[in-house]
Amino acid sequence: MTPLASRETPQGPLRILRDDDQAPEVPIEPGELARMYRTMLLARNLDDRLIRLQRQGRISFHIGSLGEEAAIVGSAAAMLPADWIWPCYREFAAALYRGMPLEAYLDNMFGNADDPSRGRQMPDHWTGRAWNVGSVSSPVGTQIAQAPGMAWAAKRRGDDVAVLVYFGEGATSEGDFHVGLNFAGVFKAPCIFFCRNNGWAISVPASRQTASKSIAVKATAYGVAGVQVDGNDVLAVHRAVREARERCRRGEGATLIEALTYRLGPHSTSDDPRGYRKEEEVEPWRAADPLPRFRRYLEQRGLWSDADEERVTAEIESEIRAAIEVAERKGPPPLESLFDDVYARRPWHLEEQYREALRLREEG
């Protein structure tokens, strides 16, 4: 049981894992369950390594997912390969689960020559069109309006595609949230709005975002389905998103899912949460850490062991180390890339600036 009673709806959030982490068998293949746990473990270890890289001055910034891995991986795993994901910024584990190579993610962290954003974005502002993952954007909530537009376009084309869009509870105070939900409700867009209610929008508590009992109840006003789920129960998250995906397939429109979780770490490497929250608030959530909960479930089903944990942890550490070495050795994006991706055909004034930049570079 999670320590989040103050934010639960009267009927309580959807849960599958019991307090003893036992659960009925779920319609997920054992191999996929193991892959979900491995991705959560990868995200946890990657967070730790990237924070150290930032402290060493080797990258400039990181925004982690400590404590929220179940919400992110469980939701991504429930989508179909053709579906699209619009991330916020903590969902790098979703991109990795969908097939983005670790090195490609780290290319963005270093802003190197292979960074899809060509070094123009902050770290953790990645994109991956090859894996149907949209681009992270710093302005809060913009993706909440973009996602139902993409979903509506897919519906008009007759494509069996749904769109999953992530955001935090702080973004529900932005106009994009209301625009996106209203549009999806009116046009029955096959869109799944996934709110990671992690308790804090940087230093602003969830209680300052809304007077509603929950985020999920807001769905009623827009004519979409609303579901609240234990965001630290990866199996419950998977079920909630898979059921929402089936509603999309049946033409029943969008769903707003509120995943109750908690941000165990700082908002980012530029934040110190000790300035605005007390440690005694955090401690109950450490006991509800989604990784050990899921691991105990897998062990009780005979799908994981101490030997598996040791082997996979070593593999992950080796993969992270190797990918960092490769990504860090790559040079910066070429100067001329500064003039690309602006127009389909470079206009005369940019062409003039482009040639001048190359001349100045050659002159040293």
The residue annotated as part of the active site, out of 263, 293, 295, 297, is 263
Q: Which two tokens stand for residue 252?
A: 């029943």
263 is catalytic: yes
* Beta-sheet pairing, 255-260 with 84-86: unpaired
Q: Which residue, 287, 308, 226, is CA-closest to 259?
A: 226
The residue annotated as part of the active site, out of 276, 286, 311, 361, is 276
The residue annotated as part of the active site, out of 44, 267, 293, 295, is 267
8 Å CB contact between 164 and 82: no
18 is catalytic: no
Half-sphere exposure of 175 (CA within 13 A, CB side): 0
295 is catalytic: no
Alpha helices (H) along the chain: 30-55, 69-78, 92-97, 102-110, 142-157, 175-187, 219-222, 234-249, 279-287, 290-300, 306-329, 348-362
Q: What is the DSSP string of 284-330?
A: HHHHT-HHHHHHHHHHHTTS--HHHHHHHHHHHHHHHHHHHHHHHHS
For 193-218, give one letter per residue: b (16+ CB within 10 A) or e.
Answer: bbbbbbbbbeeeebeebeeeebbbbb
Catalytic annotation, residues: 263, 267, 276
